[in-house]
Amino acid sequence: MPRSNGIVIGFWIVTALFCLQMGFTAYAELRLPQVAEAFTHLGFPAYFRVELSWAKLLGVVLLLAPVPARLKEWAYAGFAIDVGSALIAHFSVGDGPEAWGWAAATGVLWALSYFFWRRVQATPASACPTPVPRNLT
């Protein structure tokens, strides 16, 4: 089954949005005092916020860079744990949708990115309907 350009374009759009969201949250966790207060509200120690931010940035690089599929798979797994844990943390302290809504929306972006990535991986690039230049000499 040939890989359609629509799947590839969908993958890059959703993955770019997901990576922008994760990159922004990593920056916010490192730099914004109100985000540090939110981590305290959720019961996490300050050092965890820093570790999580750097792990998110590493994951973003792995998703965007041409690295082996196994590394991308680990990045997706790490992001799934991150988003799932964020939702659990918000629910456990009784936060409303205004607090956990961003994590839920990020989870949707994660799921779409992973779905499209698996579709892109399922078919070799040689099956992609792109024109191949011919030697005319």
When the pLDDT of each residue in the chain is averaged and rounded to a whole number, the result is 91
Percent of the chain surpassing pLDDT 70: 88
Domains of the chain, residue spans: 5-123
Q: What angle do CA 33, 44, 107 make, to 5 degrees?
A: 85
pLDDT tier for residue 3 given thresholds of 50, 70 and 90: low
What is the pTM (predicted TM-score) of this model? 0.85
Give the pLDDT band of residue 122 (cuts 50, 70, 90): confident
Query: Is residue 15 a contact partner of residue 64, using CB atoms and an 8 Å limit?
Result: yes
Dist CA 3 CA 40 (whole Å) = 46
Residue 14 near residue 113 (C-beta atoms within 8 A): yes
Stronger pLDDT, 1 or 55, i.e. the higher one:
55
4-46 tens-digit pLDDT: 899 999 999 999 999 999 999 999 999 999 999 999 999 999 9
